[in-house]
């Protein structure tokens, strides 16, 4: 493969990644509107979909203050999307869980995407999937590094 073809493929990959990011952003915006939440609330529900969490853990992962997390959790609890549960070993601590009602709504939105996506991914060989997984991991790491760099830039 010539250097020119490789360069063109790298550009195509970059454009494909950007258009994928825009498409995912559009889906998330539509999902937030259907759920009646903002994008940070949606990210919180995504975290809780994967695991229960404490308010402090949510604050750290979302980059919010403890007061902002409390306000967000109050808002999500009012919508019956999250529930607070005392920690069994220490009743002063609270675990946050996504509710069955929120799970049902999230599945209605994202379930068909996951199902169709699994069918699409199954078209690739194991070797091709390892390459895709490697690319996605590296792309995420790149974004995380630059999020930190950008956050450290002077604010307007």
Give the range of the structural domain holding residue 51, as residue numbers without chain letter.
3-99
How confident is residue 1, by pLDDT bands cut at 50, 70 and 90? low
CATH number at residue 34: 1.10.10.10
Give tens-digit pLDDT for 40-71. Answer: 999 999 999 999 999 999 999 999 999 999 99
31 occurs within a structural domain: yes
pTM of the model: 0.85
Q: For residue 83, what are the contacts with CB-CB under 8 A and spacing of at least 6?
A: 77, 96, 97, 99
Q: In degrees rounded to 5, what are phi and psi of residue 64?
A: -115, 160
Task: Give the C-alpha distances (Å, rounded to integers) separating 8 from 12, 15, 107, 132.
Answer: 6, 11, 38, 19
126 occurs within a structural domain: no
């Amino acid at each position: 493969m010539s250097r020119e073809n490789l360069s063109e493929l790298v550009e195509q990959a970059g454009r494909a990644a950007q258009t994928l990011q825009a498409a995912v952003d559009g889906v998330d915006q539509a999902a937030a509107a259907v759920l009646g939440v903002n994008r940070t609330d949606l990210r919180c529900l995504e975290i809780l979909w994967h695991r229960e969490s404490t308010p402090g853990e949510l604050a750290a992962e979302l980059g919010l203050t403890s007061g902002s997390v409390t306000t967000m959790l109050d808002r999500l609890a009012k919508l019956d999307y999250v529930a607070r549960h005392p920690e069994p070993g220490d009743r002063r601590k609270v675990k946050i869980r996504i509710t069955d009602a929120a799970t049902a709504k999230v599945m209605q939105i994202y379930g068909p995407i996951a199902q169709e996506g699994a069918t699409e991914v199954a078209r690739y060989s194991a070797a091709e999937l390892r390459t895709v997984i490697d690319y996605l991991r590296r792309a995420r790491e790149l974004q995380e590094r630059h999020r930190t760099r950008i956050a450290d830039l002077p604010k307007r």
